[in-house]
Structure 1
Amino acid sequence: MSKDAYDSPAQQRILKALVVLAGNEFIGISPTDYAKALRVNPGTATRDLHNLREAGFAEQIQETGRWRLGPKPVQIALAFATHLERAEQRLKEITNRYSREI
């Protein structure tokens, strides 16, 4: 089976949406700018943003109506950083153990 048989334009668009939202955490992005960035119509943009919000990946700024990343991707990034720190510490411990002179 070819790779194309597994491609889903809707899923690919949602993943690209995270990249569009990233970097706009303070001022957010308007639904219109979101739609333009992903080259979709306003209805599709509304549906995307709703689904991203339901999953915790986007949130709407109440004061402005603009959108930004929600807590979920930040939580994932922080969990990764924590696990990376633990792995680095473990590697240092192993390195120290094996580099001691007898």
Structure 2
Amino acid sequence: MTKATDYTNAAQQRILKLILALFGDVVHGFTPSKLAELLQQTAPTTTKDLDNLRTAGLAERDEATGYWRLSPRLPQQSIKVFNAIDSASRRVEEARNRYTRNPD
């Protein structure tokens, strides 16, 4: 008999939702109050979470505006994903061409 375990952690889930929200505007970013509103969290909780993302190198604060946005770190990882998909697509197309060519 297997034991069902729930490893879900509210603080971790909150930070993951915050990361996804920050993808909403990677150029200008958001005020902490707007992020708190979007995530239905308190401003102090959102500020704490943003600071943790900054410590991890995943978010940055624009000192001129006070807005928060993703640092380049995560968007750069998504570019790697698209490059890997493109590479795999080319390999599949090459295989398709090999198997569908008319024999000489």
SS in structure 2 at match of 1:68: strand
Amino acid at match of 1:18: I
After TM superposition, the structure 1 = structure 2 runs for residues 21-60 of structure 1, keeping only pairs within 5 Å, are: 21-60=22-61
Answering whether residue 74 of structure 2 is matched by residue 73 of structure 1, we say yes
Q: Any idea what the Cα deviations from partners look like across 1:30-73, whole Å, max 9, x if unmatched?
A: 01111222222222112100111122221111210100111122
Q: Separation in 1 of the partners of 2:86 and 2:65?
A: 37
Query: Which has the greater radius of gyration?
Result: 2
Identity %: 39
SS in structure 1 at match of 2:69: strand
Deviation at 1:98, TM superposition (A): 0.9
Q: Which stretches of structure 1, 4 residues or longer, exceed 4 Å deviation after superposition? A: none
- Structure (1/2) with the larger helix percentage: 1
Q: Separation in 1 of the partners of 2:90 and 2:21?
A: 34
**Any stretches of 5+ residues in structure 1 without a counterpart?**
none
* Count of residues paired in the alignment: 101
CA RMSD of superposed structures (Å): 1.4
In structure 2, the partner of 1:19 is 20
